[in-house]
Copies of this chain bind each other. A is one copy, B any other.
Amino acid sequence: MKVLTFGEMMMRLKPPAHERILQAQTFEATYGGAEANVAISLALLGNEVTYLTKLPANLLGDSALSVLRKYNVQTDHVLRGGDRLGLYFFEKGASVRSTNVVYDRKHSAFSLAKESEFNWAEIFKDVTLFYFSGVTPAVSDEMAAAILAACEYCQKQGIEVVCDLNYRGKMWAPEKAQAFMRKAMNYVTVCLAHDEDFEAALGIQAFDSNHGQALEQKKQYQNAMRMVTEQFPNCHTVASVLRNIYSVEDSEWMAMLYQNGQFYETNLYHPHVMEGVAAGDAFGAGFVHSLIHEFSPEETIQYALAASVLKLTISGDFNLVSDAEIRSIMGNSKAARLNR
């Protein structure tokens, strides 16, 4: 099995520790992007994975590329060119103070790339699973077209298509998102949808906004998941993470899987959250790893959520954990003691 993921990679600039941007004289620079995160996570778990993107032909593009290589992701098809690397400033919140992001991703090499730059037949050679998130088509109309072209190619070749809906309200409006995603869903075979994704990205209205946080709406989530498979018959599998968020550090997590008319649930985690970003990508990678290794539905959803919960303990976008570490917390939210 060989995986291809496709999306944009950015530089993240974060003040040290809990400093605010107004205080910062240094920034920690890391790289990330939904599909790059998934690629790196899959590579760390031992899978063969290629990442497709376009990076500027300058030192920042070189740096982004070197990070992908560091974690053993194949980069043979990465395009180089364009003006700039997208970047964003990330101000980590604490307690009641929300995390803050200043995006500076417009005019990036990726966002100005053309669909015609990609040779899908060559890119998908030997690939058996294609992964993308809703962020990629939201970047530009050209990249939305690229996603559709890739999906069509996959369907023809029998390549599995996994999509994390990953709705981003700062990138496109629900109408535009739905118009595109409902088209794309005809090619998607596995759908990951969290939080507002069902409604914003697909127009599926299953939630009652008065009913509070996610864990109080498990039934509604189940309805939404079932509706996805009904409305998009090619999609045989839907998975969702349900979170109650109490503060930046404090939240509760569980996940559900819907497959062949059956629901599978994980236990509940109540982790201390060190860094809340890219947990969805960690889930996606854990899920794809489970698909590749043909885990049972129960194991699949436990594995994906455990990967996601571990991500909450890692700085930066990449889920730098091993299979053994994921397994050590599956179905068990208590950390083992130091072994020495």
Query: Which residues of A pack against B, CB within 8 Å?
Result: 13, 16-30, 58-60, 62-63, 66-67, 69-72, 83-85, 87, 89, 91, 93-104, 106-107, 168-170, 195, 245-250, 269, 271-274, 276-277, 309-310, 312-316, 320-321, 325, 328-329, 333-340
Given contacts A63-B22, A69-B69, contact A335 B91 (CB under 8 A): no
B94 & A59 in contact (Cβ 8 Å cutoff): no
| Cα–Cα, bound, A250→B25 (Å) | 28
Contacts of A271 in B (CB 8 A): 95-96, 247
| Cα–Cα, bound, A23→B71 (Å) | 11
| Cα–Cα, bound, A109→B314 (Å) | 29
Quote the shortest CB–CB distance from A83 to chain B (angstroms): 6
Contacts of A273 in B (CB 8 A): 95
Q: A22-B59, A95-B271, A95-B312 known; 4 other A-B pairs, CB under 8 Å?
A: A66-B70, A66-B72, A98-B336, A107-B107
Copies in the complex: 6
Among candidates B25, B100, B269, residue contacting A96 with C-beta atoms closer than 8 Å: B269
Given contacts A91-B59, A95-B273, A98-B328, contact A245 B29 (CB under 8 A): no
B102 & A59 in contact (Cβ 8 Å cutoff): yes
A26 & B23 in contact (Cβ 8 Å cutoff): no
Among candidates B30, B169, B245, residue contacting A339 with C-beta atoms closer than 8 Å: B169
Interface centre among A23, A107, A195, A325 (most CB of B within 10 A): A23
A315 & B18 in contact (Cβ 8 Å cutoff): yes
| Cα–Cα, bound, A314→B92 (Å) | 11
Interface centre among A71, A95, A195, A336 (most CB of B within 10 A): A95
Quote the shortest CB–CB distance from A272 to chain B (angstroms): 4
B29 & A28 in contact (Cβ 8 Å cutoff): no
| Cα–Cα, bound, A29→B14 (Å) | 11
Given contacts A89-B59, A334-B246, contact A22 B94 (CB under 8 A): no
B22 & A274 in contact (Cβ 8 Å cutoff): no
Given contacts A168-B340, A272-B247, contact A59 B100 (CB under 8 A): yes
Q: Closest residue of chain B to A105, judged by CB?
A: B84
| Cα–Cα, bound, A249→B249 (Å) | 12
| Cα–Cα, bound, A336→B63 (Å) | 24
| Cα–Cα, bound, A24→B31 (Å) | 12
Given contacts A19-B315, A102-B58, contact A95 B25 (CB under 8 A): no
Contacts of A309 in B (CB 8 A): 96
Q: Closest residue of chain B to A67, judged by CB?
A: B70
Sample of 13 A–B contacts (CB below 8 Å): A13-B29, A20-B320, A22-B63, A59-B102, A69-B71, A70-B70, A87-B104, A95-B273, A96-B271, A96-B335, A245-B334, A249-B272, A276-B338
Given contacts A70-B69, A338-B276, contact A310 B97 (CB under 8 A): yes
Interface centre among A85, A89, A269 (most CB of B within 10 A): A89
A245 & B337 in contact (Cβ 8 Å cutoff): yes
The 10 closest A-B pairs by CB, nearest first: A70-B70, A94-B313, A97-B313, A95-B272, A21-B59, A95-B271, A99-B338, A66-B70, A247-B335, A96-B329
Among candidates B26, B99, B315, residue contacting A27 with C-beta atoms closer than 8 Å: B26
